[in-house]
Amino acid sequence: MSDNFVSLQKLSLAYGQTLVVPHLDLDIRKGELIALLGPSGCGKTTTMRAIAGLMAPQSGHILIDAQDVTRIPANKRGIGLVFQSYALFPHLSAFENVAFGLRLKKLTNSDITKRVDRWLETVGLAHLAKRKPDDMSGGQQQRLALARSLVLEPKVLLLDEPLSNLDARLRLDMRLELQRVQLETGITMVFVTHDQAEALALANRIVLMKDGKIEQLGAPDELYNAPQTRFAADFLGFQNIFEVEDQTIVGKGNALPLSFQTKARYLAWRPGAVTLEKGKYEGKIKSVSFAGEQREFVIEAPIGQIKATTPAANLPRQIGEIIRFDLPSEGVCELRE
């Protein structure tokens, strides 16, 4: 049964008296790359630690490969975890870091050497086998941590903010690296991130979390194009979110008639979806800033602030001027709550 390889059932997690995750049900498929996305404090890291066995749930069950592992200690679960800080062992060389888990399994020396060398090769660190982690760059440390987990052939690999400690160029390298490893090994990967771009780029499916609950679950394009709640929309870059009453947009005690029909309670537009210089609404330009390929506007309208972008070449308008704009039906997202 490929559908729920990792299964969290009625999981409730707490630190002392603080309930972080009240009740979570989640199924993860075999071989998928799934992202737990959300702001800090949403319970994503806690959930990951529970899967790893680093914290015991208050109630509920965790199943991995059809086996209930809720009571199995972390060191016997067969799960890999790449820590945000990498948690490499500073007193051991790169080789010994990777060999650590194998030595505990009492494998023969030649077997260990063979496997470690193969993985160091895979992540491109073969030439640095004798180096200590502190003498390696961030990207190398990241790949070493990856090799150290993967050499044990875990059933599931967990990654905590895998790209957050890397600079922009290395992020791309690492993203490709993770996708390649996933493709080659077919391992199930669960990673935690607060960065929507990272989740969208890397994951097959995204679990958006808020206050310990799943806010929305779906493929990246589903989440990006059709968030269902104000929280999801806001988190995924819809900067203009308004309430709708009787076919009018209401905000700040004012109302503007809508130019199209909707049954939704809330509507959201990305800045790029707002049309400028034409339309039936008016607002005053509060700020204009040049951001490379586009120009970003903040417009003070009766219903509140509107954020809009246009191609940089257009519209050299000044702060304080009155500008017309429209919130069109193209590019609108209807939210249920």
Residue 154 or residue 271: which is nearer to another protein going by CB?
Answer: 154
- Minimum CB separation of residue 53 from another protein in Å reads 8
- Minimum CB separation of residue 152 from another protein in Å reads 7
Residue 54 or residue 217: which is nearer to another protein going by CB?
Answer: 54
Residue 88 or residue 223: which is nearer to another protein going by CB?
Answer: 88
State how beta strands 67-68 and 188-193 pair: unpaired
**Encoded tokens for 321:** 């001027």
- Minimum CB separation of residue 80 from another protein in Å reads 7
Residue 94 or residue 333: which is nearer to another protein going by CB?
Answer: 94
**Encoded tokens for 74:** 């972390």
CA distance 50 to 218: 22
How many angstroms separate the Cα of 191 from the Cα of each of 43, 154, 167? 13, 15, 18
Residues 327, 280 contacting (CB under 8 angstroms): no
- Minimum CB separation of residue 75 from another protein in Å reads 5
Residue 16 or residue 316: which is nearer to another protein going by CB?
Answer: 16
- Minimum CB separation of residue 170 from another protein in Å reads 21
- In the DSSP assignment, the letter for residue 74 is G
- Minimum CB separation of residue 180 from another protein in Å reads 23
Tokens 């989440």 belong to which residue? 223
**Encoded tokens for 75:** 């060191």
Residue 83 or residue 224: which is nearer to another protein going by CB?
Answer: 83
CA distance 275 to 327: 7
Interface residues with another protein (CB under 8 A)? 16, 52-56, 73-76, 79-81, 83, 85, 87-91, 100-101, 104-105, 148-149, 152
How many angstroms separate the Cα of 215 from the Cα of each of 14, 75, 211, 242? 19, 31, 9, 19
Smallest CA-to-CA distance from 9 within 54, 70, 55 is with 70
